[in-house]
Amino acid sequence: MQEIKAAVIGLGFVGKTHFENLRRIPHIKIQAVVTTDEKKLKQYKNSFALPEAYTDWRELLKSSDIDVIHNCTPNYLHYEINKCFLKRGVDVVSEKPLTVRVEEAEQLVALASEKKTLNAVCFNYRFFPAVQQAKAMIDSGAIGKIRMLHGSYLQDWLFFQTDYNWKVEPRDGVLTRAVADIGSHWVDMAQFLTSNQVTEVMADLKTFIPYRRKSSNTGKEPTLLEMNTEDCASILLTIGEGIKANIIVSQIAAGRKNRFDIEINGSKGSLYWNQEEPNALWVGKRDEPNQVILDDPMVLARPEFFLYPGGHNEGWADAQKLLFDQIYRVKMGLAEETTIPTFADGLSAVKVEAAAFQSSQTKQWVSI
């Protein structure tokens, strides 16, 4: 089988995981990496004998040897990088959010269609085996007609005023922080499980820490930055023709490290999944005992979405690996595009993010 040459742009936390999981997939050669950190660039190039390594993604753009890029850069850079590589006919796997503006996401969807390039957004939570089981049960009618969804995505890594990251840096055009960064995952999950799109949004966005301190590496006094994005969001959603949903999103919830949970209530039963206990799916019933279904490829609906036998826990990185497996199976003609989250799914999430911001500003429901 022909070798596929991939490049990873950005080697922060998520870029590192992309690099590691690409190395787990047969027939993928990591041809190049890009990072502005020269020390890290040298380390990766030498440790993994990489043919190409750059500090500027524009240098990679000149390479004729790249089949696919993985865009793991800060959110505000996604649009330009994705656009430039699509124009060159290179397939693009983009981190979420796809862009920070709806019109930019629409342009990327149109460009990917025009160039007939493979395109995907990294909504990797879809690919936990328990989530795939939930999807199979919903599609089979096991919990009946969906009525409600509710849940949260809570973290605490920005809890203190001194907690700093590029995601809090005030930037023109960036409307939301917590909603775009982690709320987008919850929105995609809700749309994936229900096979419906969000149609209405009512949101309240709140910035509890109006100023953050950015420490200086030179020993100078920390810089005081005024925040223009939210620490917390409470969001009501209408999905499809009447499914009701609500979610709370925050990165200042002390003690919550990566609490992504979702419950689906139907006319016959309920399902509940929590990313911090990812190998269990709770099934709720009114007239018979509740169940907890544990991951096991021997008995669950979609064994192709397992890496290990039952009882061997599969986690966040494994779900990302399964996402990449599907993306490259699509590229090799071994799977249908419908098995992966595409730029169209990314656009849908960006529309919800923009609607949440508008709703919070106007204190009204916003239709999509």
> Where does 188-231 show beta strands of DSSP type E?
198-206, 211-214, 223-226
What is residue 173's predicted lDDT score, i.e. its pLDDT? 81
What is residue 208's predicted lDDT score, i.e. its pLDDT? 97
Average pLDDT, the chain: 96
What is residue 104's predicted lDDT score, i.e. its pLDDT? 97
Cα 331 to Cα 333: distance, rounded to the nearest angstrom: 5
What is residue 301's predicted lDDT score, i.e. its pLDDT? 87
Q: What is the DSSP letter of 76?
A: G
Q: Give the Å distances, CA to CA, from 77 to 99, 175, 238, 271.
A: 8, 14, 30, 37
What is residue 122's predicted lDDT score, i.e. its pLDDT? 98
pLDDT of 238 strictly over 80: yes
Cα 115 to Cα 107: distance, rounded to the nearest angstrom: 12
Rounded mean pLDDT of 120-138?
Answer: 97
Lowest mean pLDDT, pick from 244-248, 282-286, 311-315:
311-315
The neighbouring-strand residues paired with 247 are: 151, 235
What is residue 218's predicted lDDT score, i.e. its pLDDT? 66
Domains of the chain, CATH where assigned? 4-124 (3.40.50.720), 126-318+335-367 (3.30.360.10)
Rounded mean pLDDT of 18-25?
Answer: 98
Edge-first strand listing for the sheet containing 52-54? 52-54, 28-34, 4-9, 68-71, 91-94, 119-121
pLDDT in tens, 284-310: 999 999 999 999 999 888 888 899 999
pLDDT in tens, 168-222: 988 878 999 999 999 999 999 999 999 999 999 999 999 999 999 988 776 678 8
Cα 204 to Cα 32: distance, rounded to the nearest angstrom: 42
Count of Cβ atoms closer than 10 Å to residue 364 Cβ = 10
Cα 312 to Cα 306: distance, rounded to the nearest angstrom: 10
What is residue 33's predicted lDDT score, i.e. its pLDDT? 98
The neighbouring-strand residues paired with 93 are: 70, 120
Contact between 266 and 143 under an 8 Å Cβ cutoff? The reply is yes
What is residue 1's predicted lDDT score, i.e. its pLDDT? 65
Rounded mean pLDDT of 34-55?
Answer: 96
CA dihedral 10, 14, 18, 24 (to 10 degrees): 140
